Amino acid sequence: MRKNITLGLILGSTLALATLAVAAPAGQDAGMHQDRHSHRHGHEMGFSKLDLSDAQRTSIKQIMQTSHAQNKTQWEALRQQRSAFESMTPDQVGYQAAAARLAQAEGDATRVRVQQKATVRAQIYAVLTPVQKAKMATMKTEKQARREQWKQFRAEHPAPSSTSNAAQ
């Protein structure tokens, strides 16, 4: 058992390092690559495959940085509110009220995140040429097809349940 865990950790670490090595090929703008993946606005649009000009890269990077800067204080406040709620115990006075305030804040944050994502995507889309927009649409269609193939594969090859693993 211990040997399997160690082997799993080694393989997992190797895979993670290999992914990092492949993810930033030589000559690619490391800052652009990092920005694209560090933001969780869903901007994995495959910019590297769109043959962006330097001016486009700069514009997109600026759009992403501006978006991040505009929302940073709001996300920090939400993080603090979450932390304060999590430090409370259920028998504390005001626990339910704090839960309601946090739920409201989380809902508001979700609405803002969706709206901000749409704004950023529209701004980035405006930077692209018609050829790049067409290529992006093709990439999106291909990604959806791969996702459907994966869903079909998983349906045909379900993962073994944990109870069958324990019996082995």
Residue 67 resides in a domain: yes
* Within-domain flag for 121: yes
Residue 141 maps to a domain: no
Task: Determine the pLDDT at residue 17.
Answer: 42
- Residue 162: the pLDDT is 61
Please report whether residue 17 resides in a domain: no
> Cβ(102)–Cβ(81) under 8 Å?
yes
pLDDT averages per 10-residue partition of the chain, 168 residues: 47 43 39 41 60 90 90 88 91 91 91 92 92 90 94 89 56
Q: Is residue 124 part of a domain?
A: yes
In the numeric block, which tokens belong to residue 104? 């409201």
Sort 48 into a burial class: Cβ within 10 Å, 0-12 / 13-18 / 19+.
middle
pLDDT of residue 11: 45
Q: What pTM value is reported for the model?
A: 0.56
AA letter at 137: A
- What was the pLDDT predicted at 168? 52
DSSP label of 56: H
The tally of domains found in the chain comes to 1
Whether residue 160 is contained in a domain is answered as no
Q: Which domain holds residue 96?
A: 50-128
